[in-house]
């Protein structure tokens, strides 16, 4: 058994997995080329894949493809193998695959897909845009999963009459929307000039903070409940929680 390599994209991963399954090859691991470090015992194998391969040509139900895609977007280090075994068992059980929770690969795939779906849903409400120069809406996020594409689909419909940019700081990439479609661009291939907030933006931020603090009832504060609905890992990118986030970090440093 060896480690098989792919180019890091979802279609290429499915292309590779399809070939492995069709040739009854059981991989020790599957990794993106950029994240693989060869050893004396495993130099990695790159197979010649079908250039005409298209995901939509696979005879696999859409719910299965969607689950695999959500697993692919997760941060699990074994996600490629989970997808391999999930598709391998799908070939055997077909439309009953989602009921086979006793299989480790199925249980793991559904769990990871749900985590990605839940985080994407939360971020739809937690993303905070601000207006920068040229009337562009700009936001930063630090999600655990690679859900920038899923968020872009949502905001392309929600803010279709606006120019906007969402930056995934953890992965250093941007989603840029031009009122027609969005483009996912690596930060290494993008050079943005200094972004300056508009004069109205600071006023709007102050009004929002005043509103947020005014509607809160101090006697009914419940930090634990608040963190259940608004996880602390998102506070850094939320205007109304940034002050609380900094206080929390300062207390941690003192301790």
Q: How confident is the model over 101-140, as pLDDT tens digits?
A: 999 999 999 999 999 999 999 999 999 999 888 889 999 9
Q: Is residue 122 part of a domain?
A: no
Residue 147 shares a structural domain with residue 238? no
Is residue 120 in some structural domain?
no
Query: What average pLDDT does the chain have?
Result: 88
Task: State both tokens at 146.
Answer: 């690679």
Residue 165 falls within a domain, yes or no? Answer: yes
Q: Is the pLDDT of residue 41 over 90?
A: no
Query: What pLDDT score does 101 carry?
Result: 93
40 and 108 part of one domain: yes
Q: Residue 251's pLDDT is what?
A: 57
Both tokens of 204, joined, read 């709007």
State percent of the chain over pLDDT 70.
Answer: 92
Would you say 141 and 166 are in contact if contact means Cβ atoms under 8 Å apart? yes
Determine contact, residues 35/6, Cβ cutoff 8 Å: no
Going 87 to 70 to 76 to 152, the CA torsion angle's sign is positive
Query: Lowest mean pLDDT: which of 34-43, 73-82, 216-225, 232-241?
Result: 216-225
Strand ranges in the chain using DSSP code E only, listed in sequence order: 3-6, 29-32, 130-132, 136-141, 164-168, 173-177, 182-186
- Give percent above pLDDT 90 in the chain: 59
Lowest-pLDDT range, 63-77, 101-115, 235-249?
235-249
pLDDT > 90? residue 215: no
Classified as helix, coil or strand, 50 is: coil
Least confidently predicted of 45-49, 186-190, 240-244: 240-244
3-state SS class at 133: helix
Contact 119, 145 (CB under 8 A): yes
Q: 52 in a domain, yes or no?
A: yes
Pick the closest to residue 15 from 52, 46, 42, 53 (CA basis).
53
Please check whether residue 19 is in contact with residue 50, taking contact to mean a CB–CB distance below 8 angstroms. yes
pLDDT at 208 over 80: no
The token pair at 107 is 């249980």
Q: Are residues 88 and 142 in the same domain?
A: no
Q: Choose the final residue of a domain: 115, 137, 165.
A: 115
Domain ranges, residue 204: 200-254
Q: How confident is the model at residue 175 (pLDDT cuts 50, 70, 90)?
A: very high
pLDDT for res 225: 76
| pLDDT confidence of residue 25 | 93
| Gap between the Cα atoms of 42 and 105, Å rounded | 24
Helix (H, G, I), strand (E, B) or coil at 224: helix
Whether residue 105 is contained in a domain is answered as: yes
| Helix and strand numbers, DSSP H then E, in the chain | 8, 7
Question: How confident is the model at residue 219, as a pLDDT?
Answer: 74
Same domain, 88 and 160: no
Which of 162, 189, 216 is the last residue before a domain boundary? Answer: 189
pTM of the predicted model as reported, rounded to 2 decimal places: 0.85
Work out the pLDDT band at 29, boundaries 50, 70, 90: very high
Q: Band of the pLDDT at 254, cuts 50, 70, 90?
A: low
- Number of structural domains (the chain) is 3
- 233 secondary structure, DSSP code: G
User: Are 174 and 222 part of one and the same domain?
Assistant: no
Cβ atoms within 10 Å of 204's Cβ, excluding its own: 14
């Amino acid at each position: 058994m060896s480690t098989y390599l792919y180019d890091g994209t979802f279609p290429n991963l499915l292309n590779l997995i399809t070939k492995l399954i069709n040739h009854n090859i059981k991989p020790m691991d599957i990794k993106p080329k950029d994240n693989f470090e060869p050893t004396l015992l495993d130099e990695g194998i790159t197979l010649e894949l079908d250039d005409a391969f298209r995901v939509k040509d696979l005879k696999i139900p859409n719910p299965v493809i969607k689950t695999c895609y959500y697993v692919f977007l997760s941060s699990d280090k074994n996600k490629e193998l989970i997808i391999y075994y999930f598709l391998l068992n799908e070939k055997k059980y077909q439309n009953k695959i989602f009921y086979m929770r006793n299989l480790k690969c199925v249980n793991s795939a559904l769990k990871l897909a749900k985590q990605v779906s839940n985080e994407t849903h939360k971020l739809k409400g937690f993303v905070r845009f601000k207006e920068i120069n040229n009337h562009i809406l700009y936001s930063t996020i630090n999600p655990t999963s690679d859900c920038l594409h899923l968020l872009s689909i949502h905001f392309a419909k929600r803010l279709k009459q606006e120019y906007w940019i969402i930056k995934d700081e953890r992965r250093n990439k941007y989603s840029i929307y031009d009122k027609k479609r969005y483009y996912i661009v690596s930060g290494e291939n993008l050079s943005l000039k200094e972004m300056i907030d508009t004069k109205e933006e600071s006023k709007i931020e102050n009004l929002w903070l005043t509103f947020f603090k005014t509607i809160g009832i101090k006697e009914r504060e419940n930090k634990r409940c608040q963190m259940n609905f608004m996880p602390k890992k998102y506070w850094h990118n939320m205007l109304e929680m940034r002050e609380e986030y900094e206080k929390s970090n300062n207390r941690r440093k003192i301790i």
